[in-house]
């Protein structure tokens, strides 16, 4: 595997990596919440809302892929994204 020479100082890489990993966790949460709502929507505007939620989930997943690739290229990924997600933090505040 080729090594990428990154000119950023270590501290800057860690800061950027932490921000990217938190963003990745939030995008994954968003895609899951949108897909859950997508399958549970009902009512008179079902079709349009269903399609919009599907699109939102797809866009969030696509952006998550981009963020994950950049984070991996910059500093590598930690195994524990769950603790960085807003859903995990909200559940554990109560």
Could you tell me the CATH superfamily of domain 19-88? Ferritin, core subunit, four-helix bundle (1.20.1260.10)
User: Token pair of 41, please?
Assistant: 């929507």
21-76 confidence digits (pLDDT tens): 899 999 999 999 999 999 898 899 999 999 999 999 999 999 999 999 888 888 75
- Gap between the Cα atoms of 55 and 60, Å rounded: 9
pTM of the predicted protein model = 0.71
């Amino acid at each position: 595997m080729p090594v990428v020479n990154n000119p950023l100082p270590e501290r800057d890489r860690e800061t950027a990596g932490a921000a990217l990993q938190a963003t990745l966790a939030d995008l994954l949460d968003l895609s899951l919440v949108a897909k859950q709502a997508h399958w549970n929507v009902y009512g008179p505007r079902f079709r349009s809302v269903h399609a919009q939620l599907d699109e939102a989930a797809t866009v969030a997943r696509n952006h998550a892929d981009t963020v994950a690739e950049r984070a991996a290229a910059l500093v590598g990924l930690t195994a524990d994204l769950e603790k960085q997600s807003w859903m995990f933090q909200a559940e554990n505040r109560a």
